[in-house]
Structure 1
Amino acid sequence: MSAESGAASGARVAVVGAGWAGLAAAWRATTLGHAVTLYEMAPMAGGRARRLPTEASPLPGLALDNGQHILIGAYTATLGLLAELGVDERRAFNRRPLALVDARGHGLELPPGSAVPAFVRGVLAARGYSLRERLALLAAAGGWFMRGFRCDPRLTVAELTATLPTALRAGLIDPLCVAALNTPARLASAAVFLRVLRDALFAGPGAADLMLPRVDLGALLPDAASRALAARGAMLRSGQRVQAIERHASGWRVDGEDFDAVILAASSVESARLARPHAPDWSTTVEALRHEPIITVLVRAPQARLAQPMLALEDGPGQPAQFLFDLGRLRDPALEPAAQGVLAAVISGASDWVERGLDATALVVQSQLQSQLELAEPPTLLRTLCEKRATFLCTPGLARAPMLVAPGLWAAGDHVDGPYPATIEGAVRSGLAAAQAISR
């Protein structure tokens, strides 16, 4: 279905931005009978969760992403969208019960089963914590459960958990907070943190499962969505930055082309720029968001033997990385033999380390890995990646802009108002909701 032929049965819809929110919006709009034109300023789709160009990889035959991403079983909108697009979950993900354990096997590992009993059994069996510490965590979680995972919206995660033992806060709460919200516990919204815990740990069997990609991010959503959209006649204009949108009759004009509706699914910066002439207050709210970077340090350590494909790392002064991924255990060795021995160390909430410089940060991470993995020598640095505007800081009382920008002009993206922090699931849900709103 072309943009012209689709006008008779549905609306002519422009989607600006082919990240995960834009791809979700474009796909849903086509399934609802609309004629879609998708604009993307980068050469390829994916936004902040994308495959890097082939020439960017330090190892031939190894596809790299702009950073290490994971999903969890509670990402129902994302997993549902992937299924619609024909992505085989078993081939795309290494799915396993939640495990936040370090190289010594210390930490929390949830067994399969119903949410509450699994959490209780997992906490009681957690290694590296005293009985008093484990009971304190169960008591705190029980209190959150009884209160419906609600709290004073002014609280930070650090304030919410201040009475917990130091070892629990440092070894479990803080890493979990920065992984989920990309915001340090001292700044992070306790209300949003509790919402994430409720939907992940207590929503039902499998909700807390780790979904570790076996393939690069492009092979998850962007490739499948691009093929499906093309098959439905949608137009994808990559490498084209939209210069302006204008009101036109009862609709909108995007760089001179007429549409009935527009979905701004670009970055917060680009969306605010395009919306400002029509909704200055909306743009001001978006521009007020503060962003936090994520650094991924890729190393080669053939001598390393990780107990699991994802490990928690002990972070602290001089130990910046919180999580470590073994690409050799995640990727198919027959398709990507170059992944063997490649590890990805992730630093969330990385603003302080960006200021120190990526080269200096990489050296510190190499030393951290040598120490915690008990390696004879530091691993070999392959590349350091930094997504400087990875997510917004998820702070208490944060104001986020609504989905409706102006009549016929909608916004989608993890920066748009919604129940979740800046995550893939938040982006996908907002994209689907924006497309549904057009039909309503």
Structure 2
Amino acid sequence: MRVAIVGGGWAGIAAAVALADAGHDIAVFEMAPQLGGRARSVAGQPDYDNGQHILIGAYRDSLALMRRLGVDPELVLKRLPLALPYPGEPGLRLPPGSPLIAFTRGVLAHGGWPLSARLGLLAAAGGWLAHDFRCAAGLSVAELCAGLPATVKRDLVEPLCVAALNTPARQASAQVFLRVLKDALFSGAGSADLLLPRRPLSELLAGPATAWLGGRLRLGRRVQSIEPGWRVDGEAFDAVVLACTSVEAARLAAPLNAGWAAEAQGLRFEPIVTVYLHSPGSTLPAPMLALREGADAPAQFAFDHGQLGGAPGRFAFVVSGAAPWVERGGCAEAVLAQATRELRWATPPVVDRLLTEKRATFACTPGLARPPARIAPGLFAAGDYIAGPYPATLEGAVRAGLAAAQGVAAEAGTAANGAASGSPTKTP
């Protein structure tokens, strides 16, 4: 089959590689001059990423895709047992080994929490386990964890929630949050490990995918229309995968399935702001630090690029769920003040760069209706916003790309079987 993939982010790359491996003739249309979507290096300045991304050990499909493209995750990612140290505090640290046992040991060993708080967290986690990490669809993370001690909510639940879902706990889906916890704690040894990029993001996937796909790429090409048949800007294909943003996918799908387009257009978004600071000679106590968010403290995490194989003296401060700061402005100045106040520096830090991704992720709210992957026969969508158990993560995007490729292949097989048996087939 000839298959068009519209969009070259991680979902589009996953779909393209899977379809090419299955023997299909593919073409990848990407409006930007490079692949990678929202997880890439800044064009023209490859030492900067458009945001600080992390993976976890449970991201099996993302890691497998990297290996398929010739990238060794052990070389480009720094693997660390899950730890949430705060400035001057060790925080929660999980020892190596079976994730569930490590979680129990790590919680019990957390000297910063009173024993009652540690036992309260383990009791709540036991209840989640007993219910197979499932809950009512309309429940928020704040409601799910209402009975937990305040220190546990402040130092663990809220930072994990905003890191995984990019949505504040009071607005975030407990159902999706629990699924992330389940995969981290029950996907085998190392599944809860943090995987921090030690190379620019484009070297993790976009660059290797560009070389692998070669002449099948149409970079700098925004698709204007898709017509039944399937014709992409007049060019004939047998199937199409929309691996672009939900906004672009809705625009292209509207004439073909207005209901699907309306559902995609109904998604709301949460921004992420990354503030890069520069301080020659300085280092953080750990490659990644958690920070306590407050009215004058926007950032929840800080990363030391010098400890991650990047430029010494460069630090990335991440503000997730950043809508209030995008609206009010002054985020870079507030982060600089927060960093100066809470951390020790060899030289006074200065703001190096401010990057704002206004549509970084969809707002992962309770009971959210997300559009399905199948739009019409031969037309599939792939992206981290597609209906599924994951929030808007790299792994969610890769899984959506693989699912779209499987959907295309399955329909092709059904059509071929129908033709072989003499049964009529329908075209859109």
Give the TM-score category using the shorter length: over 0.9
2:325 paired with 1:353: yes
| Alignment counterpart, residue 301 of structure 2, candidates 311, 314, 323 | 323
Amino acid at match of 1:317: A
Q: Which residue of 2 aligns with 1:278?
A: 256
Cα distance in 2 for partners of 1:286, 1:70 equals 26
Cα distance in 1 for partners of 2:167, 2:226 equals 33
Amino acid at match of 1:100: L
Q: Is the 8 A contact 1:70 1:211 kept in 2?
A: yes
2:125 paired with 1:125: no
After superposition, the Cα gap between the structure-2 partners of 1:366 and 1:45, relative to the gap in structure 1 and judged at 3 Å, is: same
Mapping 1:417-432, distance limit 5 Å: 417-432=387-402
Q: Which residue of 1 aligns with 2:235?
A: 257
Deviations 1:126-146 (A, max 9, x none): 242111111111111111111
Cα distance in 2 for partners of 1:255, 1:17 equals 14
How many percent identity over aligned positions? 57
TM norm structure 2? 0.94
2:153 paired with 1:175: no
Cα distance in 2 for partners of 1:365, 1:194 equals 30
Matched residue of 2:224: which SS?
Answer: coil
Amino acid at match of 1:193: F
Q: Which residue of 2 aligns with 1:21?
A: 11
Cα distance in 1 for partners of 2:71, 2:131 equals 38
Cα distance in 2 for partners of 1:316, 1:353 equals 12
Q: Which residue of 2 aligns with 1:36?
A: 26
Deviations 1:41-65 (A, max 9, x none): 01111101111022xx4xxxx6111
Q: Which residue of 2 aligns with 1:343?
A: 315
Deviations 1:347-400 (A, max 9, x none): 00000000112xx11111011111111347751110100000000011111001
Q: Is the 8 A contact 2:138 2:367 kept in 1?
A: yes
Cα distance in 1 for partners of 2:185, 2:51 equals 25
Q: Which residue of 2 aligns with 1:383?
A: 353
TM norm structure 1? 0.91
Mapping 1:122-201, distance limit 5 Å: 122-201=106-185
Mapping 1:199-210, distance limit 5 Å: 199-210=183-194
Q: Which residue of 2 aligns with 1:236?
A: 217
Cα distance in 2 for partners of 1:387, 1:375 equals 28
Matched residue of 1:64: which SS?
Answer: strand
Cα distance in 1 for partners of 2:401, 2:136 equals 29
Q: Is the 8 A contact 2:19 2:405 kept in 1?
A: yes
Q: Which residue of 2 aligns with 1:96?
A: 80
Cα distance in 2 for partners of 1:237, 1:320 equals 39
Q: Is the 8 A contact 1:366 1:378 kept in 2?
A: no
Structure 1 gaps, min length 5: 1-10, 333-338
Give the C-alpha shift of residue 117 in structure 1: 1.1
Report how many aligned residue pairs link the two structures. 410
Amino acid at match of 1:195: R
Amino acid at match of 2:145: T
Amino acid at match of 2:408: I
Q: Is the 8 A contact 1:177 1:183 kept in 2?
A: yes
Cα distance in 2 for partners of 1:355, 1:288 equals 21
Structure 2 gaps, min length 5: 411-428
Q: Which residue of 1 aligns with 2:407?
A: 437
Q: Which residue of 2 aligns with 1:7?
A: none
Matched residue of 2:195: which SS?
Answer: strand
Cα distance in 2 for partners of 1:393, 1:365 equals 23
2:277 paired with 1:299: yes
After superposition, the Cα gap between the structure-2 partners of 1:323 and 1:39, relative to the gap in structure 1 and judged at 3 Å, is: same
Q: Is the 8 A contact 1:181 1:421 kept in 2?
A: yes
Give the C-alpha shift of residue 304 in structure 1: 3.1
Give the C-alpha shift of residue 303 in structure 1: 4.4
Q: Is the 8 A contact 2:223 2:233 kept in 1?
A: yes
Question: Which 10-residue stretch deviates more, 138-147 or 302-311?
Answer: 302-311
Q: Is the 8 A contact 1:85 1:224 kept in 2?
A: yes
Give the C-alpha shift of residue 217 in structure 1: 0.9
Cα distance in 1 for partners of 2:141, 2:341 equals 29
| Alignment counterpart, residue 105 of structure 1, candidates 65, 77, 89 | 89
Q: Is the 8 A contact 2:287 2:304 kept in 1?
A: yes
